[in-house]
Structures are given as C-alpha cells and as structure tokens.
Amino acid sequence: MQKEVILTGLRSNSEFHLGNYLGAILPMVELQKKHAGQYQMNMFVPDLHSFTTPIDHGSLYEQSLQNLKVFVAAGLDIDQPDTYIYRQSYIPAHSELTWILDCFAGFGEASRMTEFKDKSQTVGVDRVTVGLFNYPVLMAADILLYGAHYIPVGEDQRQHIELARDLAMRLNNRFGELFTVPHEWSKQLEFAGIERGVRIRSLRNPEKKMSKSVEDPAGTIMLSDNPEDAAQKVIGATTDSVGVINYDWEKQPGVTNLLEILALLKGVNHQEVAKEWQGKSSYGDLKKTVADEVSKFLGDLQSRLSAVDEQKLTQKLEADEAEMAKVADQTLLKVQKAVGLRPKS
Ligand code: TRP
C-alpha cells in the first residue's frame, strides 16, 4: 500500500535566524526522525511563494540552496528513501493547477484569508500584488498535487489548509474523486503535537517575535552570526525588574524567552529548565549559561554546514524533482481530463 504523505514547505527567501531554527527547522527534522519509514515526506521549497512579498531576486536562487543546506546541517537525512526534496518552480504543474483552482475559488473566499488581509494592510492596497492574493490557492495546489494527508504548519496557516480542503471537496463533488482531501485541522494538530508553535522572541523586544529585521539586529541571532557576537547579544538581552526568574510569558517575556531557548537547544522540556532556574535571582548567570549554549550551538552548526556535501544534495534534489514531477503531472492530467482540457480517455 502506498504510504500517506506528510508535506511541508521550507521557506527560502531570506537567511535563517535562531527563531526559524528552533521553531520550524528543528521540529521538521524531528518529524522526519519520528516518522521515517512509515510515511512519505515531501519537503519542498516554495520558491514561487517567496516573491509574494518584496525580496531580493538577485539572491533567491542561491538562498534556496543555502537554506536546504541548513536543513541538512540540522540533521535532515537525505538518504532516507521516503523523503523527497524539491523546488516548487521546477515542477510546472504547481502553476498550472493553481490557475485551474483559481477558477473554482471564490473572490470573497480568498479575500477573507487573514494573512492576506494583514499583509495587504501593512503594504498598502496599491503595492499589494495579485500574487499575494493568490498565494493560498498556490498553496492548495502544492498540497493537492501530491495527495498529502498531513501538512504540519503553524496556526497562522490554518485557513490556508482549510481552503485546500474546501477546494478539494468542491472539485471532488463536481467532477468525481480527483483529490485526496487533507485531514481536518484538529487531526493535523494531533499529528504535529500540541507543543509546537513555540515562537522565539526578539532578545531586545521580547514582546515581539524574533525576525530578520534591519531595526533589530541586536535582538536577532542569525545562524551565520559569529558565535562570540551571538553570545554578546544574549548577554545584552532585555529582561525585567522583577528580580526573580519565572517561566511566565506574560509578565517576564525576556527571561522566559531565554529559558525557552535554553530548553530547545538542550533538547529538553521547558518545564525541566524552568524548574532548575525557578526562583533564582541572578539574571546574569542565566544569560551566561544561555550565551554559552548559543555560541556552542552556532559553532557546531556552522562547521556541520560547511561539511554538507553540496554535490550529493544537488543530485538528490534533481532526482526528486524528476520523480515528483511525474506524480504531479499525473494528478494534473486527471484534473485536465475532468475539466475538459484533455480527452477523457
Ligand atoms: N505558506 C507557508 C509559510 O508561509 C509555506 C508554504 C507554501 C507551504 N506552500 C505550502 C507550507 C504547502 C505547507 C504546504 O510558511
């Protein structure tokens, strides 16, 4: 019997920071370890999605490859025979199915997507692109082409998963069984584990999440930071004036963020770390411990990154792209036949 498919997109348009690593990359690597052999895992680079917001097109191509290397350095096993990695733009069926799905998606339905509403408000209606509006439909195509059952993503992507389900069911009702309908959100959550969705905060503004931002270089640890400089950023982290360490995102977000980073880097439960530090009064000791851990982590990661076998990675990528293009083309052909673009038999 064919294995059920877990599918997820690995962003590619900018360099990764520690928040990406702990909140997205590591959970994905863990997912692979947990399910190796039982499920097929499709881990693809949504490079077409990456220019729904302004980016540096001059570095996109290299950045996609570089970010894949980070996944490998983080422990993604590319020898695992059920794991497929590919770039979205190398498989034209994604774009083509998007157009067909577009013609079955409602304008109102797409307008209600909160990510679109939020981003279009920030960017302004004159600068927001049709691409951003269409983004969730492209995401539905990404999912439906491969008959994915599980799509481990954060809460912010929930509406997009629901749209993919709605479109699948709509076309199935009208044209017969074309698509595998992905599992509903509650099952997705159960599968991915409740704990996920941890958001590492900025070291300087712990009310905000860590992000690659020009205004906040001191609050963000980039994976390419020199380990010494990164340690200094931790030492300079904003805390509070409570004077006692507690795991409390509401009242002590700065200290809690440090405890969280420590727990994730050590691979232990945050409760365990919280218990160890609970009630202690030296923020300095905590910062020093986290700073050491961060600099050790970066040193290790950077040396693993430079040891990644690029040639092997590229070979795997190209072989998987060829194989997944076949799968995607089969689904597309089924749809093309159903909607009258190809002869029925
Ligand atoms: N929208 C996802 C994000 O912002 C990336 C993505 C694109 C994706 N297509 C996907 C994730 C399909 C899962 C499945 O992170």
Least confident of 159-163, 210-214, 267-271: 210-214
pLDDT bucket at 14, cuts 50 / 70 / 90: confident
**Alpha carbon of 43 to ligand 1 centroid (Å):** 10
Q: Give the number of residues written for the chain.
A: 345
Give me the phi and psi of 15, to 5 degrees please: -65, 150
Looking from the CA of 30 toward its CB, the CA atoms found within 13 Å total: 15
Q: Is residue 287 flagged as an active site residue?
A: no
**Alpha carbon of 25 to ligand 1 centroid (Å):** 13
Give me the mean pLDDT over the 258-285 stretch: 95
**Alpha carbon of 167 to ligand 1 centroid (Å):** 16
Please state whether the predicted TM-score (pTM) of the whole model is above 0.85: yes
Our mutation pick for probing the ligand 1 site, out of 5, 7, 8, counting the most ligand atoms within 8 A of Cβ, is 8
Give me the mean pLDDT over the 111-128 stretch: 85
Can you give the pLDDT at residue 198?
74
Strands (E), the chain: 5-9, 40-45, 83-87
pLDDT bucket at 196, cuts 50 / 70 / 90: low
Q: Tens of pLDDT along 277-327?
A: 999 999 999 999 999 999 999 999 999 999 999 999 999 999 999 999 999
Can you give the pLDDT at residue 53?
79
Atom 11 of ligand 1, residue of closest alpha carbon: 9
Closest CA to 161 of 25, 281, 7, 35: 7
Closest CA to 68 of 314, 340, 307: 314
Q: What is the mean pLDDT of the chain?
A: 93
Percentage of the chain lying above the pLDDT 90 cut: 83
Cα separation, 118 vs 115, in Å, equals 5
Are the C-beta atoms of residues 119 and 53 closer than 8 Å to each other?
A: yes
Can you give the pLDDT at residue 154?
84
Q: Is the pLDDT of residue 23 over 70?
A: yes
Catalytic residue among 209, 288, 334, 337: 209
Tell me how crowded residue 267 is: count the other CB atoms within 10 A of its CB.
8
Give me the phi and psi of 243, to 5 degrees please: 90, -5
Q: Is residue 187 flagged as an active site residue?
A: no
Measured from CB, residues less than 6 Å from any atom of ligand 1 are 7-9, 11, 46, 49, 139, 142-143, 151, 153, 157
Measure CA 167 to chain center: 22
Catalytic residue among 208, 212, 334, 337: 212
Can you give the pLDDT at residue 197?
62
Closest CA to 239 of 258, 227, 225, 255: 255
For residue 181, the surrounding DSSP H or E stretch is none
Q: Is the pLDDT of residue 194 over 70?
A: no
Give me the mean pLDDT over the 143-159 stretch: 94
**Alpha carbon of 9 to ligand 1 centroid (Å):** 5
The number of the ligand 1 atom at minimal distance from the alpha carbon of 160 is 1
Closest CA to 239 of 278, 210, 202: 202
